[in-house]
Structure 1
Amino acid sequence: MSLGRATPTVVKQRGLGGFPHQRLLLAQRLPEGDTRRGQFITCKSLRCVVRSGNHIESVKKKDVDLYQLFKTRRPIIGVVHLLPLPTSPRWGGSLKTVIDRAEQEAVALASGGIDGIIIENFFDAPFTKNQVDPAVVSAMTIVVQRIQNLVTLPIGLNVLRNDGTSAIAIASCTGAQFIRVNVLTGVMATDQGLIEGEAHKLLRYRRELGSEVKILADVLVKHARPLGSVNLNTAVQDTIERGLADAVILSGWATGDPPNSEDLELASRAAKSTPVFVGSGASWDNIATLMQAADGVIVSSSLKRHGNRDQTIDPIRVSQFVEAARRNFNSNSKNQTESVTSFKLHS
């Protein structure tokens, strides 16, 4: 994904997917609207150098990775909860109703300033553990295509409860950019039973498809418990180093519950150059605290009317959340910039 019009440099390095491949990096001019327009970026190891005129600044490599996908270093991803789909217990019989609501919510998210959208079969509960019915795949594919006709944001998929294969297939065929996988590695006890991560299958399938779809993976996902004792540091490292996740997600214990700050800080340290997302419970009241350790946020419940997850997305609440988040991001960026040592280059 290009950052601009300048000629890219092709290098071989350990990429976002965790395995060596050729990747466009990064002697490219930033696009219109970015606060660092006119600068150039070169990357090596875990950090990048941003050059602006006669000054250079060191930034984290994961900031550049996020910018490539979301056009911002601190992405806010909104979630479209699809109404019950065909074959689910509460399926209402009208795919048009599902599509109409999904389109309305996607437009509300985009107009409110969200940086990306995840499309999720949230109301299909009770969920299957792994593979969903082909009718669900077909319906979600149609919804993705319809939303892509309305908004230009990066689109992701989460096929619940843990059908990463269908998600990456839909994304690859529609041109969506990323997926969310609830259990990529390990074993979790859930209301669907024991769910085993299948990173080995998913990563091989992505390679077979020749796909560049990014995988955002939950660590100790909500509505679930690990079978053994919890070691968050090891879980994060395994998800990245052994599961080859492109980013990790940390949530509270249930939908609408935020992770605690200590866990976020621990996850961020363990993840090193891999982005860490808040996966639940974010609101305009707590976003400043949550984002002190996280790189991005996935949000839905607090954007619904009256904060009720059964309601539709409220455009006003979207704008309020984005405003609160951006205010915090800008404040943090200013503080970080002031702490970075810059020096003048000799002409």
Structure 2
Amino acid sequence: MTWMKEVIGTEKAIIAMCHLLPLPGDPYFDKEKGMDYVVEMARKDLHALQDGGVDAVMFSNEFSLPYLTDVKTETVAAMARIIGELMSDIKIPFGVNVLWDAKKSLDLAAATGASFVREIFTGVYASDFGTWDTNVGETIRHQYRIGAENVKLLFNIVPEAAKYLADRDIESIAKSTVFNNRPDALCVSGLTAGAQTDAQLLKKVKEVVPDTVVLANTGVRLSNLEEQLSIADGAVTGTTFKYDGKFENHVDVKRVKEFMDKVKQFRS
């Protein structure tokens, strides 16, 4: 039995993304509508995801485009306010992701009581956001310093819009990440949010680290969920739950229900 059963309540769990609108300090923040509007839209999406039957939810500043790798304080403060205001509405386990800053994600988890964090914890990348470096030793020490040692760490080992600087295959990355860092899960992604995760890639990762939870991190949808979940231990899902399956839209509860009905069928 994996930790997912204990923390989320089921194996083959579906972690749904609650994408927050642009926040103060972000280029596309709507100053006229302000933070109250951001909170209300997050509430709307959260209810749609929960009513649709997802197993867990993860809050992320998905619309803070273009992303920073050293996130500003105002972003974390805004996210903490949103989650704080939604606390009485949250009925399922939740996690957080402050894109793309592992330490700030942990700070937010510690402040809100999140059960898990997804981030790029390891590696050096050439990316759309410049050269992207990490310091996992410092990040994990920070986790313990702030009392967040029980927060589960979901290591994204195929960052979207980025490529490992060293020429390493996915198997050796997965193996050494698990050996050196003891992640709670490895996330395997497509190129961007909503892009399908390559099933062969998933399979390679799961085969070399059979005892580690492996999640399909992008692009799981009705048409491929059986294939993806037959390999992966669960999925992180966002775009497919939105109206017309479009990244920029809000969550459509009908799409969520249809997807989760098929997942429940698959699990049984």
* TM-score, length of structure 1 as denominator length: 0.74
Query: Percent identity of the aligned residues?
Result: 26
1:195 aligns with 2:135: no
Partners of 2:266 and 2:106 in 1: CA distance: 33
1:229-248 equivalences under 5 Å are 229-248=167-186
| 1:277, distance to aligned residue in structure 2 (A) | 0.5
- Give the Cα separation in 1 of the matches to 2:242 and 2:179: 36
SS of corresponding position for 2:181: coil
Q: 1:159 aligns with which of 84, 98, 104?
A: 98
Per-residue CA distance 1:259-288 (angstroms, 9 max, x = gap): 222111111122221100110001011000
What do residues 208-235 of structure 1 show as CA deviations (whole Å, max 9, x unaligned)?
Answer: 1222111101112121111232411111
Q: Which runs of 5+ in 2 are unaligned?
A: none
Kindly report which structure 2 residues correspond to 1:177-256, keeping only aligned pairs within 5 A, or say none: 177-181=115-119, 183-211=120-148, 212-256=150-194
User: In the aligned structure 2, how far is the partner of 1:321 from the partner of 1:197?
Assistant: 35
Specify the structure having the higher radius of gyration (Cα): 1
Partner of 1:313: 251
Which deviations, in whole Å up to 9, do the C-alpha atoms of 1:64-99 show, x marking residues without a partner? x11111011111011011110000101112001110
Counterpart Cα distance in 1 of 2:165 and 2:216: 23
Partner residue of 1:102 out of 42, 56, 60: 42
Residue of 108, 112, 119 corresponding to 2:59:
119
Letter paired with 1:95: M
Counterpart CA distance in 2 for 1:257 and 1:111 is 25
Distance 1:253 1:323 in 2: 27
1:107 positional shift: 0.8
**Deviations 1:178-235, CA, capped at 9 Å, x for gaps:** 1110x21111111111111221111101111222111101112121111232411111
Cross-structure match for 2:20: 82
Give distance in 1, aligned partners of 2:156 and 2:41.
27
Equivalent residue, structure 2, for 1:143: 82
Q: Contact 1:184 / 1:243 at 8 angstroms: preserved in 2? A: no
Q: Aligned Cα RMSD in Å?
A: 1.2
Question: CA–CA distance in 2 between the matches of 1:246 and 1:254?
Answer: 23
Offset at 1:244? 2.8
- Structure 1 residue 272 corresponds to structure 2 residue 210: yes
For residues 34-89 of structure 1, give each alpha carbon's deviation from its aligned partner in whole angstroms, at most 9, with x where no partner exists: xxxxxxxxxxxxxxxxxxxxxxxxxxx32xx1111101111101101111000010
TM-score, with structure 2 as normaliser: 0.96
Maintained 8 Å contact 1:82/1:102? yes
- CA offsets per residue over residues 90-126 of structure 1, 9 Å max, x none? 1112001110000110111111111111111111111
Distance 1:147 1:239, change over 3 A: farther
Unaligned runs of 5+ in 1: 1-60, 331-347
SS in structure 1 at match of 2:45: helix
Q: Deviations over 1:268-323 (max 9, x none)?
A: 12222110011000101100001111001000111000111111000000001111
The match for 2:68 is 128
> Following the alignment from structure 1 to structure 2, what is the Cα–Cα distance between the partners of residues 241 and 288?
29
Provide the secondary structure at the position in 2 that maps to 1:157.
strand
Q: How many residues align?
A: 265
Structure with larger RCO (C-alpha < 8 A, sep 6+) = 2
